[in-house]
C-alpha cells in the first residue's frame, strides 16, 4: 500500500492538525446556523506486533492491512470529542474490541473496531469477507438493531478514516439512509 494512503499516515496528518491548535469543528444547528465547537483527540499507546497477532489469531479473525497497521501504531484513539457535549468517535483498543464483542450479539466473525456516539453503534469488520477478499467488509450496526439490519460501508478502513476527518467527525455512512427516509 502506498505510504501516503495508509491509515497511519492519515492519522498522523490529523494529529499534526490537532496539535497545531486547529481544534474546532463546525456544527449545523437546528436553528439553521453554524456553531464552532472545540474538539479533542486522545491517542493510545502502540502495541507490539506479536500481541496484536496473538489477540486476533486467538479469535481466528482476519484483518485488512491498513487497520492492522493502525492498531500497531495507535491501538485505538478518541476522535472528535466535543469539549461541551462529549461524544465523538472511538476507534477501539484491543481490550475494548474484546469487551464489545463479548457483550453484544455480533456474529462471531465480526470485529467491532469503532464505537460511535452520535448514533450509538459500532463499525465492524467482517473477518470472513477479509479472508476471502470480498468487498465491502466494513459495516455499521446501530446498537439497537439486529446484525441483519447493518449498513454496508463501501470503502476500506483508510478511506473511511479519511472521510471521517473530512466530514469533521460526522457519521457520513448514515447520510444515504437518512436521505432515503427523508424523501420516502
User: Tens digit of pLDDT per residue, the chain (184 long)?
Assistant: 444 457 666 666 666 555 544 444 444 444 455 566 666 778 888 889 899 999 999 999 999 999 999 899 889 988 887 767 767 889 999 999 999 999 888 899 999 999 987 667 899 999 999 999 999 999 998 877 788 888 999 999 999 988 888 887 778 888 776 555 555 5
Task: Tell me, rounded to whole angstroms, the distance of Cα 2 from its chain centroid.
Answer: 21
Report domain extents, the chain: 3-182
User: All 3 cell numbers of residue 144?
Assistant: 439497537
Q: Which residue has the cell 464489545?
A: 100
State which fold the 3-182 domain adopts. SMI1/KNR4-like (3.40.1580)
Amino acid at each position: 500500500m502506498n505510504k501516503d494512503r495508509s491509515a497511519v499516515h492519515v492519522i498522523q496528518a490529523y494529529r499534526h492538525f490537532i496539535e497545531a491548535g486547529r481544534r474546532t469543528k463546525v456544527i449545523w444547528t437546528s436553528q439553521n446556523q453554524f456553531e464552532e465547537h472545540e474538539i479533542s483527540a486522545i491517542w493510545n499507546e502502540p502495541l507490539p506486533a506479536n500481541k496484536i497477532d496473538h489477540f486476533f489469531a486467538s479469535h481466528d479473525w482476519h484483518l485488512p492491512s491498513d487497520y492492522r497497521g493502525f492498531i500497531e501504531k495507535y491501538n485505538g484513539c478518541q476522535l472528535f470529542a466535543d469539549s461541551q457535549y462529549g461524544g465523538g468517535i472511538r476507534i477501539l483498543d484491543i481490550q475494548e474490541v474484546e469487551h464489545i464483542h463479548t457483550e453484544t450479539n455480533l456474529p462471531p466473525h465480526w470485529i467491532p473496531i469503532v464505537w460511535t456516539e452520535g448514533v450509538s453503534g459500532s463499525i465492524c469488520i467482517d473477518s470472513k469477507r477479509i479472508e476471502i477478499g470480498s468487498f465491502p467488509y466494513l459495516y455499521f450496526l446501530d446498537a439497537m438493531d439486529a446484525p441483519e439490519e447493518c449498513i454496508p460501508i463501501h470503502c476500506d478502513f483508510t478511506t473511511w478514516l479519511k472521510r471521517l476527518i473530512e466530514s469533521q467527525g460526522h457519521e457520513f455512512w448514515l447520510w444515504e439512509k437518512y436521505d432515503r427516509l427523508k424523501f420516502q
